[in-house]
């Protein structure tokens, strides 16, 4: 009789343990999916940014063709950003692209006709809005990564994460001067 | 005599209600039946459509539908960033075009978005429930403006005309006097008939005039009925367009039909995503500290199993609570100690078990209180929630616990601190403050406003 009770207790404990482990595993999967989804949102906004740049370069070239060095730097930074993979590499490439764009807009200030052009103003505004969306997408992604990494690194979910191959994710970091209220401003 | 006056009063009141019934029947609005399904949108705005198709009562959806309509007309844009995050972005002002030509109620919605917008001209859609306005007055102004437009278009009217109101109130003088006489006759043995007469008459007139005012709702005209019937046909068409699961940002694709679907109650997800006329959530606040909108979860309880009882109390109040909690805890543990010794021969004195029991309950908050006496902390952050909760209530007095939740930018989850009613009254949601606090027991000792709320002046304080 007592042996039966012991077996029953063990079975109940094992079932409870299994339910607990499945719950923790599912939570990890949900968090990881949230991170992947948030990254996809950043990707959408970054693609939009990358698509705007050739038009911007062409527009500037129409007025300031001899500013070749700056224009080439933007084009090269864009190419590096397009081919970058992973949050850390992507963030570094995007930050370099932001720097190159800043130089481009600094150059543009010397050309009043370019500044006055509707096309340039529209591109500038669209790029500024895209930067803002990237900043929000980055915040959204980093919040998702924080939740996921907390789950992966804290007990008891860390035990499940270690066995089932969940690894901490990288944050999408902003350059130092952009940490704070607003991401990038060109206008 | 008394019976006669009572019967007379009853007859007078009955006759007045008969008159009211006749006037109600004469002034009732047109019967509205759905017209044939059609995709052709009419000239009315979504807010007016909400009024017409809601039995001439405006619903919460009207404000959300108006914002969707502004997005469809490119006055603002709605952008989806993630499954739980979308942004309303103010359109860039074109100096050549000037301000967009908006109806007064559309302007109210746009102004609300503008007051919430950060330097980038952006508001998270969830943050629309945060407010630069007390919801009640704002909603009344919104409704008034929508009704004014509907009336101007001949689609709506007040139920009573001036003559009908005067007739009902004038006729109310008869039951007023009759009830007054009945009251005077019933109380003839007392100090005199004047007091009971005046009391009965005034009370009767007040009740009748309150009823007349209450029944004076907005009512449809024949043209309004025809328009409502046509819009119900549009609703039938839009209901089949699967707008129910479309997010607010889908307005970029669908345009005005989504705004009308929202007004007609067939775009639930889009409406839920734009909580313009919904009170803000107590435990989920939107903060723009740092310049970007983000969600902050607010917990009104302290850590641990006893957090509900000991968190957010003034130190002396907490001390009293701890003393009160310690006595029964000690008593229960003492009894357990006696039972342990009697039945299991546990060689521990019951007094010691009692002491351990009391410490188990009050030990942690007591230590926290003592540590906080020695070292208070300073927190700088944005006030994201100001709430008060009923602590005790009797016939004469209601006592509240006052809470202030601060987003200091360190975490997406914050615990609301308790504070005094006076300090709570001085704060507004959105203020940037520096607070001296007891971190372990959750009490604000002092608060200094560093930057007054720029977008939440007169923010609603929901009890």
Q: Which residues of B touch A137 (CB under 8 A)?
A: 81-82
Computed over every residue of chain B, the mean pLDDT equals: 88
Residue A179 confidence (pLDDT): 44
What is the CATH class of B375-451? mainly beta
Query: Using one digit for the tens of pLDDT, what is the confidence trace for B178-205?
Result: 888 888 887 766 567 778 888 888 999 8
φ, ψ (nearest 5 deg) of residue B295: -85, 140
Q: What is the 3-state secondary structure (H, E, C) of B437-462?
A: EECCCCEEEEEEEEECCCCCCCCCCC
- pTM of the shown model: 0.81
For chain B, say whether A129 makes contact (Cβ under 8 Å).
yes
Contact present, A109 and A61 (Cβ < 8 Å):
no
Contact present, B408 and B378 (Cβ < 8 Å):
no
CA dihedral A124, A129, A135, A136 (to 10 degrees): 180
pLDDT, average across residues B83-88: 88
Q: Is residue B37 over pLDDT 60?
A: yes
pLDDT, average across residues B57-70: 94
Q: Is residue B463 over pLDDT 50?
A: no
Q: Is A99 helix (H, G, I), strand (E, B) or coil?
A: helix
For chain B, say whether A137 makes contact (Cβ under 8 Å).
yes
Contact present, A174 and A135 (Cβ < 8 Å):
yes
| Burial (CB count within 10 angstroms: exposed 0-12, middle 13-18, buried 19+), residue B51 | buried
Residue B456 confidence (pLDDT): 53
Residues B448, B426: Cα–Cα separation, whole Å: 10
Contacts of A106 (CB under 8 A, 6+ apart): none
Give the bridge partners for B219, in sequence order.
B157
Contacts of A93 (CB under 8 A, 6+ apart): A77, A80, A81, A84
Q: Which residues of A touch B118 (CB under 8 A)?
A: 181-182
- Residue B27's pLDDT band, with cuts at 50, 70 and 90, is confident
Closest alpha carbon within chain B to A138: B81
Query: Using one digit for the tens of pLDDT, what is the confidence trace for B450-462?
Result: 998 865 554 444 4
φ, ψ (nearest 5 deg) of residue B445: -90, -35
Q: Where are the beta strands (DSSP E) in B240-287?
A: 284-287
Q: Which residues of B touch A129 (CB under 8 A)?
A: 89
Q: Which residues of A touch B120 (CB under 8 A)?
A: 132, 182
Domain boundaries, chain A: 35-178
Residues B109, B45: Cα–Cα separation, whole Å: 14
Residue B386 confidence (pLDDT): 92
Question: Prior bond to A156 cis, omega within 30?
Answer: yes
Element of type H or E holding A127 = helix A118-153
Q: What one-character DSSP code corresponds to residue B126?
A: G
Interface residues from chain B to A (CB-CB < 8 Å) = 79, 81-83, 85, 87, 89, 92, 118-120, 122, 290-294, 412
ipTM score: 0.79
Residue B191 confidence (pLDDT): 67
Q: Which residues of A touch B92 (CB under 8 A)?
A: 125
Contact B291 A136 (CB under 8 A): no
Q: Which residues of B touch A146 (CB under 8 A)?
A: 412
Residues B220, B156: Cα–Cα separation, whole Å: 5
- Architecture of the structural domain at A35-178: Up-down Bundle (1.20)
A89-98, B20-29, B342-351: range with lowest mean pLDDT = B342-351
Q: Is B336 helix (H, G, I), strand (E, B) or coil?
A: helix
Residue B439 confidence (pLDDT): 86
B49-58, B69-78, B156-165: range with lowest mean pLDDT = B156-165
Residues B195, B314: Cα–Cα separation, whole Å: 51
Residue B373 confidence (pLDDT): 77
Closest Cα in chain B, distance from residue A12 (Å): 26
Average pLDDT for consecutive 10-residue bins of chain A (187 residues)?
86 95 95 94 92 91 83 93 90 91 88 85 89 91 94 93 92 63 39
Closest Cα in chain A, distance from residue B79 (Å): 8
Q: What one-character DSSP code corresponds to residue B228?
A: H
Show which of residues 36-95 on chain A sit within 8 Å of chain B, judged by CB atoms: 37-38, 41
Q: Which residues of A touch B247 (CB under 8 A)?
A: none
Residues A97, A50: Cα–Cα separation, whole Å: 10
Q: How many CB atoms lie within 10 A of CB B251?
A: 28
Domain boundaries, chain B: 2-30+160-216, 46-158+219-279, 307-373, 375-451
- Residue B97's pLDDT band, with cuts at 50, 70 and 90, is low
Query: Using one digit for the tens of pLDDT, what is the confidence trace for B212-248?
Result: 888 888 889 999 999 999 999 999 999 987 899 999 9
User: Is the backbone of residue B386 left (phi > 0), alpha (psi -120 to 50) or beta?
Assistant: beta
* CA R_g for chain B: 31
Nearest to A140 among B79, B85, B120 (CB): B85
Q: What one-character DSSP code corresponds to residue B289?
A: T
Query: Using one digit for the tens of pLDDT, what is the confidence trace for B243-287?
Result: 999 999 999 999 999 999 999 999 999 999 999 888 888 999 999
Closest Cα in chain A, distance from residue B382 (Å): 14
Residue A48 confidence (pLDDT): 92
Mutate to test the interface with B, among A31, A136, A140, A184 (most CBs of B within 10 A): A136
Closest Cα in chain B, distance from residue A36 (Å): 11
Contact present, B10 and B175 (Cβ < 8 Å):
no
Residues B132, B276: Cα–Cα separation, whole Å: 11
Tell me the torsion sign for CA atoms A70, A72, A78, A81.
negative
Closest Cα in chain A, distance from residue B329 (Å): 32
Calculate the alpha carbon distances from B222 to A14, B57, B157, B163, B289 in Å. 72, 17, 10, 20, 52
Residue B382 confidence (pLDDT): 95
pLDDT, average across residues B312-336: 90
Residues A23, A66: Cα–Cα separation, whole Å: 62
> Which string of DSSP letters, residue by residue, matches B62-112?
HHHHHHHHHHHTTSEEEEEEETTEEEEEEPPP-TTT-S----HHHHHHHHH
- Residue B120's pLDDT band, with cuts at 50, 70 and 90, is confident
Q: What percent of chain B has pLDDT over 90?
A: 49
Closest alpha carbon within chain A to B93: A125
């Amino acid at each position: 009789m007592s042996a039966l009770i012991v077996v029953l207790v063990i079975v109940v404990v094992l079932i409870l343990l299994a339910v607990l482990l499945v719950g923790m595993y599912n939570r990890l999967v949900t968090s990881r999916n949230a991170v992947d989804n948030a990254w996809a949102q950043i990707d959408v906004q970054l693609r939009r940014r990358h698509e705007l740049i050739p038009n911007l370069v062409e527009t500037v070239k129409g007025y300031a063709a001899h500013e070749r060095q700056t224009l080439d730097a933007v084009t090269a930074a864009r190419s590096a950003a397009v081919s970058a993979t992973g949050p850390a590499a992507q963030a570094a490439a995007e930050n370099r692209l932001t720097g190159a764009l800043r130089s481009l807009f600094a150059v543009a200030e010397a050309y009043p006709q370019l500044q006055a052009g509707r096309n340039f103003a529209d591109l500038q505004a669209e790029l500024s809005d895209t930067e803002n969306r990237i900043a929000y997408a980055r915040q959204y992604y980093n919040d998702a990564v924080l939740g996921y990494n907390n789950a992966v690194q804290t007990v008891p979910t860390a035990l499940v994460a270690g066995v089932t191959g969940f690894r901490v994710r990288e944050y999408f970091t902003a350059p130092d001067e952009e940490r704070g209220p607003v991401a990038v401003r060109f206008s | 005599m008394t019976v006669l006056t009572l019967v007379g009063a009853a007859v007078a009141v009955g006759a007045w209600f008969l008159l009211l019934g006749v006037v109600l029947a004469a002034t009732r609005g047109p019967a509205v039946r759905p017209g044939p399904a059609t995709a052709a949108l009419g000239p009315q705005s979504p807010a007016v459509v909400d009024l017409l198709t809601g039995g001439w009562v405006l619903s919460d959806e009207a404000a959300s539908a108006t914002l969707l309509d502004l997005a469809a007309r490119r006055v603002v844009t709605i952008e989806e960033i993630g499954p739980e995050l979308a942004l309303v972005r103010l359109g860039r002002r074109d100096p050549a075009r000037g301000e967009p030509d908006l109806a007064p109620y559309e302007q109210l919605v746009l102004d609300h978005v503008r007051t919430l917008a950060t330097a980038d001209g952006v508001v998270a859609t969830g943050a629309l429930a945060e407010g630069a306005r007390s919801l009640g007055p704002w909603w009344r102004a919104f409704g008034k403006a929508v009704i004014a437009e509907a009336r101007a278009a001949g689609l709506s009217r007040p139920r009573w005309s001036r003559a009908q109101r005067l007739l009902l109130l004038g006729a109310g003088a008869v039951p007023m006097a009759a009830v007054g006489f009945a009251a005077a006759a019933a109380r003839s043995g007392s100090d005199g008939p004047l007091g009971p007469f005046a009391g009965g008459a005034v009370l009767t007139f007040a009740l009748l005039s309150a009823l007349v005012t209450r029944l004076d709702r907005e009512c449809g005209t024949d043209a309004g009925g025809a328009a409502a019937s046509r819009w119900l046909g549009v609703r039938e068409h839009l209901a089949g367009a699967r707008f129910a699961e479309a997010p607010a940002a889908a307005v970029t694709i669908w345009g005005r039909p989504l705004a009308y679907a929202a007004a007609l109650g067939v775009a639930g997800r889009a409406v839920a995503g734009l909580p313009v006329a919904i009170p803000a959530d107590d435990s989920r606040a939107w903060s723009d500290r740092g310049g970007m909108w983000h969600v902050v979860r607010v917990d009104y309880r302290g850590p641990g199993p006893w957090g509900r009882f000991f968190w957010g109390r003034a130190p002396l109040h907490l001390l009293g609570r701890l003393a009160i909690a310690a006595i029964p805890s000690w008593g229960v543990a003492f009894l357990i100690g006696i039972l342990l010794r009697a039945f299991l021969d546990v060689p521990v004195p019951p007094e010691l078990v009692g002491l351990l029991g009391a410490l188990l309950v009050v030990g942690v908050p007591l230590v926290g209180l003592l540590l906080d006496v020695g070292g208070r902390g300073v927190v700088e952050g944005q006030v994201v929630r100001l709430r008060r909760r009923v602590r005790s209530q009797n016939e004469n007095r209601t006592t509240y616990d006052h809470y202030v939740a601060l987003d200091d930018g360190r975490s997406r989850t914050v615990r609301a601190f308790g504070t005094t009613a006076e300090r709570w009254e001085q704060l507004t949601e959105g203020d940037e403050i520096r607070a001296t606090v007891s971190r372990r027991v959750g009490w604000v000792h002092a608060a200094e406003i560093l930057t007054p709320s720029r977008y939440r002046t007169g923010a609603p304080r929901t009890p």
